[in-house]
């Protein structure tokens, strides 16, 4: 599916919240989204359908040695069309110039579809955070993706 990608703005938050609440058992609050949008070390992209409707989003935040994939969601009626992949690949492109740009994330161990998506994008399981999710104390799988080697980089 063709979507237009652009930075999210505060005016997008009503739709972001609708998608979030329909996607997660413990959705982020509006204040969490506002904090990420205002943080200089964060990037937030939205995927917009042909009619300009926001149908998905992804948030990443820069920490000491990696970009942390904070939140990715796609409206239910638009899932399984490559939108999450498109959002994440674009975020990887935008952050590729960062020489310390590994990527990390946590995902529910039961979320096999998301885990498969992340594995297709080059993430590997690196550990567990026991009882990480507050709603049911489910473990989180910690995943890591090494930075891409640029075309002109030398290899050892």
Q: Residue 22 corresponds to which tokens in the numbers above? A: 């329909």
pLDDT tens-place string over residues 40-76: 999 999 999 988 899 999 999 998 889 999 999 999 9
Q: Which CATH superfamily is domain 4-145 in?
A: Gcn5-related N-acetyltransferase (GNAT) (3.40.630.30)
Q: Are 23 and 108 in contact (CB under 8 A)?
A: no
Confidence at 153, pLDDT banded by 50, 70, 90:
very low
Residue 106 among the catalytic residues: yes
Q: Are 16 and 57 in contact (CB under 8 A)?
A: yes
Q: Give the span between the Cα atoms of 122 and 115, in whole angstroms.
A: 11
Residue 18 among the catalytic residues: no
Catalytic residue among 57, 63, 118, 133: 118
What residue segments make up the domains of the chain, in order of their start?
Answer: 4-145
Q: Are 109 and 139 in contact (CB under 8 A)?
A: yes
pLDDT at 148 over 80: no
pLDDT at 155 over 70: no
Catalytic residue among 9, 93, 106, 146: 106
């Amino acid at each position: 599916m063709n979507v237009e990608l652009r930075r999210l703005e505060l005016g997008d938050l009503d739709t972001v919240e609708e998608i979030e609440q329909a996607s997660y058992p413990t959705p982020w609050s509006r204040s969490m989204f506002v904090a990420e949008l205002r943080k200089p070390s964060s990037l937030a992209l939205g995927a917009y359908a042909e009619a300009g409707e926001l149908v998905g989003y992804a948030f990443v935040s820069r920490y000491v040695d990696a970009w942390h994939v904070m939140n990715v969601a796609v409206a239910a009626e638009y899932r399984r069309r490559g939108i999450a992949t498109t959002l994440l690949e674009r975020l990887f492109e935008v952050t590729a110039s960062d020489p310390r740009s590994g990527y990390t994330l946590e995902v529910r161990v039961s979320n096999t579809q998301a885990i498969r998506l992340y594995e297709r994008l080059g993430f590997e399981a690196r550990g567990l955070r026991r009882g990480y999710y507050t709603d049911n104390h489910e473990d989180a799988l910690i995943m890591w993706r090494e930075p891409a080697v640029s075309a002109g980089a030398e290899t050892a």
